[in-house]
Amino acid sequence: MAKKTNKASSKSDLEKYINKRLFDTIPLGIAVIDPDYNLVYANKTFEQLFGSWENRKCYHVYKNREDMCSRCESAMTLKDGLPRANEEAGYDKNGRHIHYLQHAAPIVDDNGNFLYVIHIFTNITEATQIRDEHQVLFDQVPCNILLIDRNFHIVKANKRLTDWLGDLEGKYCFESLKGLKHKCSECTARQTFADGRTHTGYHVWKSPAGKTLHLHVITIPLKRADGSFDLVMEMAVDVTQTLKLQDGLKFAHRFLETVISTSMDGIFAVNEKGRVTIFNPAARKFFNVKDNQVISREELAGILPQGFLAQVSGEPGHAYLPETEVKTIDGETFPVRLVGNKLKRSDDSLLGMAFSVQDLREIKQLEKEKLEAERLAAVGHTVAGLSHGVKNLITALEGGMYMLNSGLSKGNIERIQKGLEMLMRNIERISIFVKTFLSFSKGREIKAKICDPAEIAKEVVDLYEVKADELGIALTNEKLGDVLPAPIDYESMHECLTNLVGNAIDACQVSNGGSCYVAVRTFEKNGIITYEVSDNGCGMDYEVKKKVFTTFFTTKGLGGSGLGLLMTKKIVQEHGGKIELESKPGKGTTFRIRFPRSRLPKVIEKG
Amino acid sequence: MNAKKKILIIDDEQDVLAYFEAVFQDSGYDTVLAGNGFEGFELAKLEKPDLITLDITMPEQSGLKTYYQFKKHPVLKKIPVIIITATDESYKNFLNELNGFSTPEVFLSKPIDPEELLKVVADIFSDNNIKK
């Protein structure tokens, strides 16, 4: 009995709850409107969502409108008494945009009239937002996505894919993506359907336009809560460009490797930690390093010129030594041309250093041989011309003899006198000639010492100062910029400049009056030391210019041996230099002798 | 009776001029001397020599250039020329650069044998006489 009573009382409690409390505790907003759309009733949940409602119209509360909605579902329900459900958008109590499901049902009185409409709200704002975000993600993610069913029909494809291939829904994936009539022999989707796991693979797709795409593909089962599934999501990332780059990179790498390993120049490199990562066969040969021998950073620093590594790793990160000396791994010195470059990443951080080295041993030898050949050629030239000078001398001697003999037989004292003078003069010439020629042909080894090139010019100019002064010639000496000391045979260079300055002064004497000058200049540019001797004397015409450096040519009659410029040329050549000549008759002459530092002789003794 | 023949000697060596002058004068020729080609050409126009001896290697103006001047001149081009120079080499070069001008009558190489020089000169004059 008591049980019954309890049951009855609990039932009445339940009814009481449903009637009085449920209305407010249910997590759905509920409101009632009259036929004039006035809100006449609403629960707590509704209030929490839309705020105050009393004495307000439904459209005003839900949608923040001043007048009725153009299409009102409730109006229709009031007419036909049918319940309706819609997805609607409106504003919450704080004016924020919300999405909600609205169920509308009529409240019918005993006579069957529709007196009110009840609205039940479900807030779906968050779900809608998530759904929209997913759609954007699905369509815009930079990869192709499609859903496939167990028959390999495409159920859905993202915008990226449909933009490219058009509508794909319901088509076979193998047909629309690869242009095949049958399933693929290797299929990641099939694997996923078989074992329910994620699979990856590499696919080649063909567009209808015939374009080939290379793709990295992932297939994922779209599982339900119970683990069953009928759809597979396939995500395909286009790697065509990446593959192309990879191929290009591989080729570039192989090309570089071939170039480095077959290069005649030594090539080596260190990484950012200073470890030697490249040391090509040519470099191994130069430095006498065995094929499998690893070079440490310390060993590398030891074979290169002192401080070279620091120079390359510092600023500006580039060092070029056109001629320097390095050591083999066993300490033997040899001449090379050396280039070092710092390698930087795009953010300027250190990537390493690369070096290129050219063995100059052979070139040096050839250069030496060439210099010797040039010297011998000059001597040869001289010997060929020797007969010319000698014959002229003999003719003059014979002339003297003839005068002497015929004078004697005719008793002509004047002629005897003249003959004797001719003989004596030409014997004197022979003696000068022989002296000069000897000094020219003996091929004295030049002895280079480190000396100041400008100092030699100064001494030569000092030597002629008095003579120039007497003749009224303005003799000047100028050093332009810095000229560093260089290995030069002092006496030879002195003689060389003495010849040129002497010639210039002679040229001034022959010229037709006016103020004369002889200017000596010394300067250095791009590693080339240059002496320049200019005058505004008589100058030379084409015929003379052609002959000045050939043997025994003189315009000075008995005053010149004809060997001066030949001697000058020889000295210049022995210093690895070149002699140039600019001259205009009546305007003057400029002799320019140029010595590239790299070709200057080696120092025999220091000091 | 022919008048004395006149010979123009062109050489840059004073001693050679003196030598040839003595040789020619001893054999009864008149001589005119020029120390360079330019002077020689001017003298030739003035003196109208019967023969010219010409050195090739001279500083101011080479024998070749002087030879051109003679051969271009309407009157002087007829005067026979003996080239006297030190080397065969320079005579070869001379011939290579004649550019169509007629070759000189005789070439003699230094040192000179006076007998030979006189014989060559005599031959030229007698040839010319026969032609006349």
The per-residue pLDDT for range A524-556, each reduced to its tens digit, is 998 899 999 999 888 887 666 666 665 555 555
pLDDT in tens, A469-496: 888 899 999 999 999 999 999 888 998 8
Contact A392 B90 (CB under 8 A): no
Confidence of residue A95 (pLDDT cuts 50, 70, 90): very high
Inform me whether the pLDDT recorded for A521 exceeds 60: yes
Inform me whether the pLDDT recorded for A280 exceeds 50: yes
| DSSP character at residue A195 | H
CB A596 within 8 A of CB A527: yes
Inform me whether the C-beta atom of residue A540 falls under 8 Å from chain B C-beta atoms: no
Terminal Cα-to-Cα distance of chain A (whole angstroms): 137
- A478 strand-pairing partners: A521
Q: What is the mean pLDDT of residues A585-607?
A: 81
**A295 vs A278: CA distance, rounded Å:** 10
Q: What would the 3-class secondary structure string for B54-69 be?
A: ECCCCCCCCHHHHHHH
Average pLDDT, whole number, for chain B?
A: 86
Question: What's the helix, strand, coil split of chain A in %, to 5?
Answer: 45, 30, 30
Q: What is the mean pLDDT of residues B107-124?
A: 90
Structure tokens at A364: 């040096």
Contact A387 B87 (CB under 8 A): yes
Inform me whether the pLDDT recorded for A228 exceeds 90: yes
Q: Which amino acid is at A62?
A: Y
Candidates A544, A480, A478, A471; CA nearest to A502 is: A471
Beta-strand ranges (E) seen in chain B are: 6-10, 30-34, 51-54, 81-85, 106-109
ipTM of the complex in this document: 0.86
Inform me whether the pLDDT recorded for A3 exceeds 80: no
> Taking CB atoms and an 8 Å cutoff, what residues of chain B touch A384?
89
Q: Which amino acid is at B63?
A: G
Provide CB contacts within 8 A for A79, sequence distance 6+. A114
Inform me whether the C-beta atom of residue A402 falls under 8 Å from chain B C-beta atoms: yes
User: Which range, of A30-39, A364-373, B106-115, averages the lowest pLDDT?
Assistant: A364-373
Percentage above 90 pLDDT, chain A: 53
For residue A42, the SS3 value is strand
> Taking CB atoms and an 8 Å cutoff, what residues of chain A touch B13?
392, 395-396, 557
Inform me whether the pLDDT recorded for A607 exceeds 50: no
CB A91 within 8 A of CB A64: yes
User: Cα torsion for B25, B28, B30, B33, to the nearest 10°?
Assistant: -20
**B59 vs B62: CA distance, rounded Å:** 7
Inform me whether the C-beta atom of residue A411 falls under 8 Å from chain B C-beta atoms: no
> Taking CB atoms and an 8 Å cutoff, what residues of chain B touch A512?
none
pLDDT value of residue A2: 47
Inform me whether the pLDDT recorded for B3 exceeds 80: no
pLDDT value of residue A197: 94
Candidates A573, A589, A572; CA nearest to A581 is: A589
- Residue A606 backbone zone (phi > 0: left; psi -120 to 50: alpha; other: beta): beta
pLDDT value of residue B14: 87
> Closest to A555 (Cβ–Cβ): which among B20, B59, B90?
B59
Contact A400 B19 (CB under 8 A): yes
Inform me whether the pLDDT recorded for A559 exceeds 50: no
Q: Residue A602 CA to chain centroid, in angstroms? A: 38
Locus of tokens 């650069």: B97
Q: How many CB pairs under 8 A join A and B?
A: 73
Contact B13 A406 (CB under 8 A): no
Locus of tokens 């390095």: A326
Provide CB contacts within 8 A for A325, sequence distance 6+. A305, A333, A334, A335, A336
Can you spell out the DSSP letters for A119-151?
EEEEE-HHHHHHHHHHHHHHHHSSSEEEEEETT
| DSSP character at residue A559 | G
Q: What is the mean pLDDT of residues A64-74?
A: 91
Task: Determine the distance in angstroms separating the CA of B87 from the nearest CA of chain A, rounded to an integer.
Answer: 6
Structure tokens at B12: 């840059």
Q: Which amino acid is at B23?
A: V
For residue A556, the SS3 value is coil
Average pLDDT, whole number, for chain A?
A: 87
**A141 vs B92: CA distance, rounded Å:** 93
Contact B15 A402 (CB under 8 A): no
- A153 strand-pairing partners: A172
Inform me whether the pLDDT recorded for A107 exceeds 50: yes
pLDDT value of residue A386: 67
Q: What is the mean pLDDT of residues A421-440?
A: 81
Candidates A139, A118, A125; CA nearest to A58 is: A118
Name the residue in chain A with its Cα closest to that of B18: A399
Contact A554 B62 (CB under 8 A): no
pLDDT in tens, A113-160: 888 999 999 999 999 999 999 999 999 888 999 999 999 999 999 998
Contact A396 B86 (CB under 8 A): no
Provide CB contacts within 8 A for A397, sequence distance 6+. A422, A423, A426, A427
Phi, psi of A13 (to 5 degrees): -60, -45
pLDDT value of residue A358: 94
Candidates A148, A203, A221, A210; CA nearest to A179 is: A210
CB B61 within 8 A of CB B38: yes
Q: Which amino acid is at A434?
A: V
Provide CB contacts within 8 A for A467, sequence distance 6+. A505
